[in-house]
Every structure is written in structure tokens, then in C-alpha cells.
């Protein structure tokens, strides 16, 4: 398995381009299941999760062509196998996003239950509840969700909690349902808005995306479209944290500060000077960061996907801070690895008290999930000596060409087989 070897101490300096958003590309790729015309996508990130999703819909009969430079053409006119098998779903939970589109397009779907992952149980009961409200007959058998619906009917759905992929699944299903669907308590994440924009380009009638109340007026059929995926706000935040921790000065292009205002506010609170332009962000780090406390919550509050990265920067900041994780029940796996690097972190249920230390010491650490891996990279970049990060296949799921981008910014990092 690949590992990442980092020689810490170099400040990140220079310019890097942000890739397309993983968590927008994945649902948008699933939107291609909704009609038989071609969906032509651009700015699609070259990530393992995107490759997995391509394989998943490919085995359903979808024609997928790519130019290797971020464009993807999807055509589902030959969709003939509405099944998402366990061996593919178990590697990527976002596979559940095919459920709504398959039900809406084919009237049936057999999708493996995603199962849990390192950060939590990750149930999909809200996806199922919402589709049942739209008239689907759904049962779970042998680890699979078996769903059928002659034609989905519009319904008013109130999800028990804010769920990003739950909102996305229900929104996609509702585009072809009979009548109006209202989703209350909907997720407001920018990736939900990006999906809604793509669906609208395909002829869907959606209003309120980005608010907690989304209304979808079902139509008879959708049509093909050209669509450019939004920038990845979590990749953006991750590189800003890496520059902040290493006393660097970077400019990130092809991204927008409007996508991660809560993160930028926190980085300014930590002492960074941040200049936001229409499609770029410049960060100048202070000689030493000040500790900042964060509390994760649904958008527009501080994103859970940036929690691990802030635990890393708080580990070397001046002072103490509390990190409160409210979305997932087990999202502190990176803490024990940071302790191996000399961090001072005390976990109490969903709270972590982080006291900054003058320096971290390089060591061998193990990645456990995507964003935990990112926090170990940030820690390795600032630690004294060498840090070897194992199981970096987690990283490759969500960060495009990470060692190339970091090297161009002056980091001493290389992939070792
Ligand atoms: C999406 O996951 C993202 N993934 C996650 O990013 C992100 O951390 C998460 O939203 C929260 O922002 C994609 O978009 C592909 P949820 P999702 O449904 O949709 C509970 C990354 O690193 N819940 O919003 O699976 C759930 O257990 C990944 O890129 C139910 O109980 O998250 C969690 O506690 C990690 N029942 C909370 O709601 C349900 O039916 C929020 O989960 C659905 C969710």
C-alpha cells in the first residue's frame, strides 16, 4: 500500500488551483441516470471516489467517456441493470445516491446498504423514509435495499435531521415524480445547490435549493445538459490550513471564499491575513497561530469535514481550544495519531481539548478516513523531522494529486510504495 513521506518544516508558498468538488461531482454523476440524453460534465476531479462511481454506473449500462482532463460524458440510454452491488458500495457510501435516480427512471432499484465507516454508523433511514413517502415500496433484505415504484408521487417530507445525501437523493427522485415534492429541514450545503443547478439545466423545476425548504415540481422527462462542477470547498480549506500551520503564504485559484466563510472566519481568528477575490483566496500566515475553538454543524456553520484539519492546526497554535463534533459519533480517529506526533489532545465524548505545543515530532502514523488523513498531512508538514503516513488510499479518495500540489508549494513530500 502507498505511503506518504513528509519532511516537515517547509512553509507552503506559491499558487495552487483547486479541483472540482468531490461531494458535488458524486451526486451530479448520479443525475445522469435520470434521462437517456448525454450529460457533459467539466471540472470533474480525478479522484478514486469518482472512479468508483464511474465503475458503479458503468456496470448498470451507462456509457461513460472521459478525456482525462476533468471532462466526463455520461449517457444512460442503455441503462439495463438497476443494481448497486455490495462489493462496490462497501468501498464508497455515496453509492446510495443511485437509489433515488434509479427509482425515478426505472421504477425499481436494488442497492446494497452502505454499511458503516470509520466515522460512524452512517444509516440511510431518512433516504428510505422520504422515498416511501413518495410511494415507493421499500424493504431491506440480505443487506440490500429493494425498492419499487410504478411512478413516484410528490410528497411533503420532513427529515429527522439535516442529511446532505438524503436531501440529494430525494431531490433527484422528485424531479420525475407526479406533482410537487417539498423537502423540509433540507441540507443547505453548496454541493446540494450545485446538484440542483445541474438538474435545472436538465429541465427539472426546483426552487429553494440552498435553503431548508426545497420545492420540486415533477416533470415528465429530463434532457441532457452541459455542466461545470463547483470548486471543492473542503480541498480549499485543507490547503489554507496547511499554509496557516506552516507559516506560509499561498494563493488558491479557481475557488471562492463564499463557499467556506465559516472556515475563513476561523482562520482569521487564528491570526491569518486572508484576501478574498472573486475566484481566488490569498492567505498569509502569522508567525504563530492562535488556538481557535470550533463547533461543527450543518452549512453555513463550521463544516464537519474541516474538523480534523483544525485539530491539526490547533495542535501547534498558541493556547488551548475546544473542538466540538456534533455531526458524526466517531470522528476523532485522527486525535490518537496526532498524539503520536506529540500533540496534547484530551477527548471527552464529542469534545476534544487541544493545547498547542511548541513543535510536533515526526513519526509513523496511520490514516483512518479521508479527512483524518488530511489532518495528518498538515501535522506532518509542520512536524520536525520525517512523518510517514500509512494507508493513504484514504487521501486519494478526496484529494486530487495531493503530493504534486504540495510539492509545487514547496513541501518536502513524496509517495513511497
Ligand atoms: C455527506 O455525507 C458528505 N459526503 C460527507 O463528506 C459529510 O461529512 C456529510 O455529508 C456531512 O456534511 C458526501 O456528500 C458524499 P449526512 P452524508 O447524511 O450525506 C445522520 C467527506 O469527507 N443520518 O449529512 O452521508 C448521519 O449518521 C464526507 O467528503 C442518519 O441518521 O452525511 C450523520 O450523523 C465524509 N440517517 C448525520 O445524519 C440518514 O438517513 C449527517 O449525515 C442520513 C444521515
395 lines ligand 1 (CB under 6 A): no
Q: Cell for 256? A: 471562492
- Alpha-carbon distances, residue 323 vs 10, 358, 402 (angstroms): 27, 19, 26
The packing angle between helices 48-58 and 22-31, to 10°, is 10
Average pLDDT value for residue range 388-398: 95
Residue 69 has pLDDT above 90, yes or no: no
Inter-residue contact 34 to 239 (CB < 8 Å): no
Inter-residue contact 160 to 186 (CB < 8 Å): no
Centroid of ligand 1 to alpha carbon of 192 (angstroms): 12
Please, what is the average pLDDT of the chain? Answer: 96
Question: Pairing relation of β-strands 294-295 and 320-324?
Answer: parallel
Centroid of ligand 1 to alpha carbon of 314 (angstroms): 25
H helices present in 256-352, as ranges: 261-269, 307-315, 333-340
Whether 117 sits among the annotated catalytic residues: the reply is yes
304 lines ligand 1 (CB under 6 A): yes
Inter-residue contact 173 to 152 (CB < 8 Å): yes
Residue 114 has pLDDT above 90, yes or no: no
Out of 31, 122, 396, give the residue to mutate to test ligand 1, the one with the largest number of ligand atoms within 8 Å of its CB. 122
Average pLDDT value for residue range 268-290: 97
Whose Cα sits closest to atom 24 in ligand 1?
163
Residue 281 has pLDDT above 80, yes or no: yes
Sheet containing 72-75: give its strands across.
Answer: 63-66, 72-75, 38-42, 225-228
Catalytic entry in 30, 117, 188, 241: 117
Phi, psi of 119 (to 5 degrees): -90, -5
CA distance 36 to 343: 53
165 lines ligand 1 (CB under 6 A): yes
The packing angle between helices 233-245 and 261-269, to 10°, is 10
In which band, very low, low, confident or very high, does the pLDDT at 120 lie, cut at 50, 70 and 90? confident
Chain segment 297-351, per-residue pLDDT in tens: 999 999 999 999 999 999 999 999 999 999 999 999 999 999 999 999 999 999 9
Question: 504540495: which residue's cell?
Answer: 406
Question: 508567525: which residue's cell?
Answer: 287
Question: 455490495: which residue's cell?
Answer: 86
Inter-residue contact 360 to 354 (CB < 8 Å): no
Inter-residue contact 10 to 246 (CB < 8 Å): yes
Q: Provide the percentage of residues in the chain whose pLDDT is more than 70.
A: 100
394 lines ligand 1 (CB under 6 A): no
Provide the CB-side half-sphere exposure for 332 (13 A, CA).
Answer: 20
Q: Cell for 382? A: 509542520
CA distance 262 to 239: 15
What pLDDT does 134 receive? 98
Closest among 312, 308, 311, 307 to 295, alpha carbons compared: 307
Residue 383 has pLDDT above 70, yes or no: yes
What pLDDT does 338 receive? 98
What pLDDT does 119 receive? 80
130 lines ligand 1 (CB under 6 A): no
What pLDDT does 147 receive? 98
Question: 450529460: which residue's cell?
Answer: 39
Chain segment 174-186, per-residue pLDDT in tens: 999 999 999 999 9
CA distance 133 to 336: 42
CA distance 128 to 103: 11
What pLDDT does 183 receive? 98
Whose Cα sits closest to atom 9 in ligand 1?
164
What pLDDT does 116 receive? 67
Residue 1 has pLDDT above 90, yes or no: no
Chain segment 191-227, per-residue pLDDT in tens: 999 999 999 999 999 999 999 999 999 999 999 999 9
Amino acid at each position: 500500500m502507498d505511503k506518504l513521506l513528509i519532511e516537515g518544516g517547509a512553509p507552503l508558498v506559491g499558487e495552487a488551483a483547486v479541483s472540482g468538488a468531490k461531494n458535488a461531482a458524486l451526486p451530479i454523476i448520479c443525475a445522469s441516470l435520470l434521462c437517456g440524453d448525454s450529460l457533459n460534465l467539466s471540472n470533474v476531479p480525478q479522484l478514486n471516489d469518482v472512479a468508483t462511481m464511474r465503475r458503479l454506473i458503468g456496470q448498470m449500462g451507462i456509457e461513460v467517456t472521459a478525456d482525462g482532463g476533468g471532462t466526463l460524458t455520461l449517457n444512460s440510454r442503455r441503462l439495463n441493470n438497476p443494481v448497486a452491488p455490495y462489493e462496490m458500495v462497501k468501498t464508497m457510501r455515496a453509492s446510495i445516491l443511485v437509489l433515488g435516480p434509479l427509482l425515478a427512471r426505472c421504477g425499481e432499484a436494488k442497492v446494497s446498504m452502505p454499511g458503516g465507516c470509520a466515522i460512524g454508523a452512517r444509516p440511510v433511514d431518512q433516504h428510505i423514509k422520504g422515498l416511501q413517502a413518495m410511494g415507493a415500496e421499500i424493504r431491506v433484505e440480505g443487506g440490500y435495499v429493494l425498492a419499487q415504484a410504478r411512478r413516484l408521487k410528490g410528497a411533503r417530507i420532513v427529515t429527522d435531521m439535516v442529511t446532505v445525501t438524503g436531501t440529494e437523493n430525494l431531490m433527484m427522485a422528485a424531479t420525475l415524480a407526479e406533482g410537487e415534492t417539498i423537502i423540509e429541514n433540507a441540507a443547505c450545503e453548496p454541493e446540494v445547490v450545485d446538484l440542483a443547478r445541474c438538474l435545472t439545466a436538465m429541465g427539472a423545476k426546483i426552487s429553494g435549493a440552498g435553503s431548508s425548504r426545497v420545492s420540486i415540481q415533477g416533470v415528465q422527462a429530463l434532457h441532457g445538459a452541459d455542466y461545470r462542477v463547483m470548486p471543492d470547498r473542503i480541498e480549499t480549506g485543507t490547503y489554507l490550513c496547511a499554509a496557516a500551520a506552516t507559516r506560509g503564504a499561498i494563493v488558491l485559484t479557481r475557488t471562492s471564499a463564499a463557499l467556506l466563510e465559516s472556515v475563513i472566519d476561523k482562520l482569521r481568528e487564528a491570526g491569518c491575513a486572508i484576501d478574498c477575490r472573486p475566484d481566488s483566496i490569498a492567505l498569509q500566515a502569522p508567525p504563530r497561530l492562535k488556538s481557535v475553538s470550533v463547533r461543527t454543524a450543518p452549512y453555513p456553520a463550521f463544516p464537519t469535514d474541516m474538523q480534523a484539519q483544525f485539530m491539526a492546526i490547533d495542535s501547534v497554535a498558541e493556547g488551548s481550544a475546544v473542538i466540538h463534533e456534533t455531526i458524526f459519533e466517531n470522528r476523532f480517529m485522527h486525535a490518537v495519531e496526532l498524539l503520536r506526533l506529540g500533540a496534547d489532545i484530551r477527548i471527552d465524548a464529542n469534545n476534544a481539548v487541544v493545547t498547542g505545543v511548541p513543535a510536533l515530532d515526526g513519526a509513523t502514523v496511520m490514516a483512518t478516513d479521508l479527512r483524518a488523513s488530511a489532518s495528518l498531512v498538515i501535522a506532518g508538514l509542520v512536524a520536525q523531522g520525517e512523518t510517514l503516513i500509512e494507508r493513504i488510499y484514504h487521501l486519494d479518495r478526496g484529494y486530487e494529486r495531493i503530493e504534486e500540489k504540495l510539492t509545487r508549494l514547496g513541501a518536502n513530500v513524496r509517495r513511497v510504495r
